[in-house]
């Protein structure tokens, strides 16, 4: 990303527009562009006005005026539009002059402040593994009389209508980890996406094909602090979609776009540091498990004991629960383990005695979440586990070393989004922390309920497939 010192040089004849981006409650980027000459120090300080009532869940028509205040530390040259800088903004209430209570990014900032005030740690680190699909083509239609979805990919085992894609090199269901080209048809796409992200200052650790057929991919970013990583998640999805569009492809972040094959998650690695020391690391084995400290275990217990609330923010769509189906490979077991990927929390054990690498991996979230809200909520509940000195073993969450997909004694994540949203409405922890406002929670729940109800009202092809003979 470009720092402010570079800004004046770039604007001097090299930049025509600055694109102002902010995130709505659903976790979707919104934007408007201003000519470069309008991006003056004075205007940046004052902010740029917009109609908040036109953003779902933000404000009413009688209190619609809002301000975008650019965070100039986030400036980057837009890789898809000539002579354009992009800048991530915070949302402000012009009446009070304070950050807008429903701004997801502002909420994440309050989460970082909450951590420092707790005196537990001074920084949290986040490393989401974002999985997504890149299809050759997708056709979608949703009307009262004509609804369908048609996915085309040269990797899929069935014949593609596109004869150029019928080369015989197919990836069968659940066999996409890690075939080489020509079976893996998206090596060049991933490599180009990595180059773009790294040019934007986002360091990448690895890219590879994922388990599912049809073009399921994973590109892993190096860990970063909470707000910075949430910013990077938004940039990541923006780059993926625009690069796919550039080549006539389609990037899909739905957790479960293909029946019968693996879905896409966003396994989120987390750790707490204080004075440069990883608080989750305990190599002695005393009061620890898998080199995870007692404090780290309490943090994990905080997540597991509040998972029925967290899901409303980490897995916020009806499609999320087509992925989170018990007894398959999805991490639906409310449990922890050091190597078991069917548990909601895994403690990676690739390397021993490496302090910086010790972390927990919360495997439940998916890429339809709003990263600012999901990360902030997970941090708050993790800290609650520490504050209450929760012990995940005493609470019955494990550790489980054996296969727990079919263990009936292990609690499973709920699968009803409306029930989960109700859990969020009853929760007191998030609002009590001062990080989430009641207004944000209420508006978020309403937006997600409206979205889900609208989706459920439409008959699907599955209705006719399974019930036409009744």
pLDDT score recorded for residue 11: 60
Q: Pick from 124, 199, 55: which is nearest to 359 by CA?
A: 124
Instruction: Please indicate, yes or no, whether residues 67 and 14 belong to a single structural domain of this protein.
Output: yes
Instruction: Please indicate, yes or no, whether residues 232 and 380 belong to a single structural domain of this protein.
Output: yes
Q: What residues form DSSP beta bridges with 208?
A: 218
The region of weakest confidence among 121-130, 296-305, 313-322, 342-351 is 342-351
Instruction: Please indicate, yes or no, whether residues 128 and 45 belong to a single structural domain of this protein.
Output: no
Q: Which secondary-structure segment (H or E) carries 204?
A: strand 204-209
pLDDT score recorded for residue 383: 98
Instruction: Please indicate, yes or no, whether residues 78 and 165 belong to a single structural domain of this protein.
Output: no
Where do the H-state alpha helices sit in 90-225? 104-118, 187-199
Please report how the helices 226-246 and 104-118 are oriented relative to each other, as an axis angle in degrees rounded to 10: 150
Instruction: Please indicate, yes or no, whether residues 305 and 390 belong to a single structural domain of this protein.
Output: yes
User: Residues with catalytic annotation?
Assistant: 51, 129, 131, 210, 218, 267, 341, 361, 363
Q: Which secondary-structure segment (H or E) carries 295?
A: helix 294-305
Encode pLDDT of 281-299 as tens digits. Answer: 998 877 789 999 999 999 9
Q: Is the pTM of this model over 0.85?
A: yes
275 CB-near residues (< 8 Å, 6+ apart): 122
Percent of the chain with pLDDT over 90: 84
CATH number at residue 418: 3.30.590.10
Whole-number Å distance between alpha carbons of 439 and 452:
20
pLDDT-derived band at 254, boundaries 50, 70, 90: very high
68 CB-near residues (< 8 Å, 6+ apart): 20, 22, 32, 47, 48, 49, 50, 89, 90, 91, 92
Instruction: Please indicate, yes or no, whether residues 157 and 194 belong to a single structural domain of this protein.
Output: yes
Q: How far is CA 446 from CA 59, 128, 275, 439, in A?
A: 13, 27, 41, 11
Instruction: Please indicate, yes or no, whether residues 338 and 199 belong to a single structural domain of this protein.
Output: yes
Residue 134 lies in a domain: yes
153 CB-near residues (< 8 Å, 6+ apart): 135, 136, 160, 165, 213, 214, 215
Percent of the chain with pLDDT over 70: 95
Residue 109 lies in a domain: no
Whether residue 178 has a cis bond before it, omega within 30° of 0:
yes
Instruction: Please indicate, yes or no, whether residues 278 and 340 belong to a single structural domain of this protein.
Output: yes
pLDDT surpasses 60 at 55: yes
pLDDT score recorded for residue 339: 73
Please report how the helices 417-426 and 307-314 are oriented relative to each other, as an axis angle in degrees rounded to 10: 110
Q: What is the mean pLDDT of residues 235-262?
A: 97
Residue 162 lies in a domain: yes
Instruction: Please indicate, yes or no, whether residues 364 and 443 belong to a single structural domain of this protein.
Output: yes
Residue 363 lies in a domain: yes
pLDDT-derived band at 116, boundaries 50, 70, 90: very high
Q: What residues form DSSP beta bridges with 23?
A: 29
Residue 111 lies in a domain: no
pLDDT score recorded for residue 354: 87
Which range scores top for mean pLDDT: 160-174, 247-261, 389-403? 247-261
Instruction: Please indicate, yes or no, whether residues 266 and 329 belong to a single structural domain of this protein.
Output: yes
pLDDT surpasses 60 at 1: no
Instruction: Please indicate, yes or no, whether residues 297 and 345 belong to a single structural domain of this protein.
Output: yes
pLDDT-derived band at 408, boundaries 50, 70, 90: low
pLDDT surpasses 70 at 338: yes
Whole-number Å distance between alpha carbons of 76 and 87:
7
pLDDT score recorded for residue 352: 81
Q: Backbone phi, then psi, for 105, in 5-degree steps?
A: -70, -40
Last residue of a domain, one of 49, 76, 100: 100
What is the span of the domain harbouring residue 360? 116-467
How many domains does one find in the chain?
2
What one-character-per-residue DSSP string does 25-82 give? TTS-EEEEEEEGGG--HHHHHH-EEEEGGGSTTT--GGG-EEEEEE-GGG-EE-TTST
Encode pLDDT of 136-190 as tens digits. Answer: 999 999 999 999 999 999 999 876 666 667 788 999 989 999 999 999 999 999 9
pLDDT surpasses 60 at 376: yes
Residue 108 lies in a domain: no
Residues 399 and 338: beta-carbon distance below 8 Å: yes
Residue 209 lies in a domain: yes
pLDDT-derived band at 370, boundaries 50, 70, 90: very high
pLDDT score recorded for residue 166: 77
Q: What is the mean pLDDT of residues 10-27?
A: 89
Q: 260 by DSSP, 3-state: which?
A: coil
Residue 22 lies in a domain: yes
Q: What is the mean pLDDT of residues 32-49?
A: 95
pLDDT score recorded for residue 460: 92
pLDDT score recorded for residue 340: 75
The region of weakest confidence among 54-58, 112-116, 405-409 is 405-409
Last residue of a domain, one of 48, 73, 100: 100
CATH number at residue 38: 3.10.20.70
Instruction: Please indicate, yes or no, whether residues 154 and 63 belong to a single structural domain of this protein.
Output: no
Last residue of a domain, one of 72, 100, 128: 100
For residue 176, the Cα-to-chain-centroid distance in whole angstroms is 22
The radius of gyration of the chain's CA atoms, rounded to the nearest angstrom, is: 23
Mean pLDDT of the chain: 93
| Angle, vertex CA 262, rays to CA 261 and CA 263, nearest 5 | 120
3-state helix, strand, coil in the chain (%, to 5): 35, 20, 45
């Amino acid at each position: 990303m470009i720092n402010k010192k570079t800004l004046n040089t770039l604007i001097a004849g090299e930049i025509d527009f600055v694109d102002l981006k902010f995130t709505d409650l659903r976790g979707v980027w919104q934007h408007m562009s201003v000519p470069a000459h309008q991006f003056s120090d004075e205007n940046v300080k004052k902010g740029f006005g917009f109609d908040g009532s036109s953003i779902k869940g933000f404000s009413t028509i009688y209190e619609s005026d809002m301000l975008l205040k650019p965070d100039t530390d986030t400036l980057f040259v837009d890789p898809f539009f000539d002579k354009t800088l992009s800048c991530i903004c915070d949302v402000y209430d012009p009446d009070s002059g304070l950050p807008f209570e429903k701004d997801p990014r502002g909420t994440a900032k309050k989460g970082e402040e909450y951590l420092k005030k707790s005196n537990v740690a001074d920084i949290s680190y986040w490393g989401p593994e974002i999985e997504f699909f890149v299809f050759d083509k997708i056709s979608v239609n949703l009307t009262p009389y004509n609804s369908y979805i048609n996915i085309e990919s040269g990797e899929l085992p069935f014949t593609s209508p596109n004869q150029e894609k019928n080369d015989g090199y197919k990836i069968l269901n659940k066999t996409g980890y890690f075939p080489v080209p020509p079976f893996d048809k998206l090596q060049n796409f991933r490599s180009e996406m990595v180059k773009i992200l790294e040019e934007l200052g986002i360091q990448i650790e690895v890219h590879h094909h994922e388990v599912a057929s049809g073009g399921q991919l994973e590109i892993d970013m190096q860990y970063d602090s909470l707000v910075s990583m949430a910013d990077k998640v938004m940039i990541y999805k923006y780059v993926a979609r625009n690069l796919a569009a550039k080549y006539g492809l389609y990037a899909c972040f739905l957790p479960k776009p293909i029946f019968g094959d693996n879905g896409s998650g966003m396994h989120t690695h987390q750790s707490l540091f204080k004075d440069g020391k990883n608080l989750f690391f305990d190599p002695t084995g005393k009061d620890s498990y898998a080199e995870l400290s007692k404090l780290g275990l309490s943090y994990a217990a905080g997540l597991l004991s509040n998972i029925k609330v967290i899901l409303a923010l980490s897995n916020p769509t009806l499609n999320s629960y087509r992925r989170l189906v018990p007894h398959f490979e999805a991490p639906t077991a409310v449990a922890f383990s050091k190597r078991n990927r069917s548990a909601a929390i895994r403690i990676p054990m690739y390397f021993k005695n490496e302090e910086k690498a010790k972390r927990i991996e919360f495997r439940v979230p998916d890429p339809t979440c709003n990263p600012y809200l999901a990360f902030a909520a997970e941090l708050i509940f993790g800290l609650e586990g520490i504050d209450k000195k929760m012990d995940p073993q005493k609470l019955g969450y494990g550790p489980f070393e054996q296969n727990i997909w079919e263990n009936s004694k292990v609690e499973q994540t709920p699968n009803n989004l409306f029930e989960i949203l109700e859990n969020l409405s009853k929760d007191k922890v998030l609002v009590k922390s001062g990080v989430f406002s009641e207004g944000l929670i209420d508006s978020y729940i309403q937006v997600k309920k409206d979205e889900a109800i609208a989706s459920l009202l439409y008959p699907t092809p599955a209705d006719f497939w399974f019930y036409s003979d009744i």
